[in-house]
Chains A and B, each alone.
Chain A
């Protein structure tokens, strides 16, 4: 079945460590996104990529890095520079513009990152 797969679902990180969250999609979508969700807050955009080998900073990119070497994959690295990384991380993708797709995005199941 087509979809967006995030892994791992749960991850614990020690302070000072970098960790990478995986996001893979087999929907043939060009655009991919990473969001962060904290309790009581809306989703905040970290990075997005509209095409392979290109990505842009979102609203809260500091302390994060991404790559987009393949259309299917958009991994997110949470670096030690991110001071409050404990959160729910959501990867999403958007289908190409078309009469039925609108501007909708679809999410993976998310990854829970906890700093210990």
Chain B
């Protein structure tokens, strides 16, 4: 089983749609969780951290379910500029807290 698993997509959605991405992780000792956004042929950039209580940043909402080892990202009112690959990132739970990256979910928002 992969340490971090994501549906690769692509998710093709119309502008204005709500879309949700899911991610599962295998290490119950993981303590830090993030969503990164990566545009084509660019470096990943931090979108948001994910907290146990859930957190929201504008149109983006992240949820964490530690019992099920599951993370989600909800994007409301999708914009064309949201088209990108979304990477689920989890710490390895070790002493150095290295980050493990999922393979990403591709989102294409259509006009």
Contact = CB atoms under 8 A, between A and B. Distances in A.
Interface string A82-105: 000000101000000000001111
B8 interface: yes
Contacts of A75: none
A103 B89 CA distance: 11
Contacts of A45: 98
B108 interface: no
A48 B104 contact: no
Chain A interface size range: 20 to 34
B43 A109 contact: yes
Interface string B27-42: 0000110100000011
Contact of A103 (B8, B44, B87, B91): B91
B98 A48 contact: yes
Nearest to B45: A107
A75 to B, nearest CB: 18
Interface in A54-105: 56, 58, 88, 90, 102-105
A103 B42 contact: no
A115 interface: no
B12 interface: no
B61 interface: no
A92 to B, nearest CB: 8
Contact of A107 (B8, B44, B49): B44
B70 interface: no
14 contacts: A42-B87, A42-B100, A42-B101, A42-B104, A43-B44, A45-B98, A48-B96, A102-B32, A103-B31, A103-B91, A104-B34, A104-B49, A106-B46, A108-B43
Interface of A: 35, 40-43, 45, 48, 50, 56, 58, 88, 90, 102-110
Given A35-B101, A90-B44, A106-B46, 19 more contacts: A40-B8, A40-B103, A41-B103, A42-B100, A42-B102, A42-B103, A42-B104, A43-B44, A43-B101, A48-B96, A103-B34, A104-B34, A104-B46, A107-B43, A107-B44, A107-B45, A108-B43, A109-B43, A110-B43
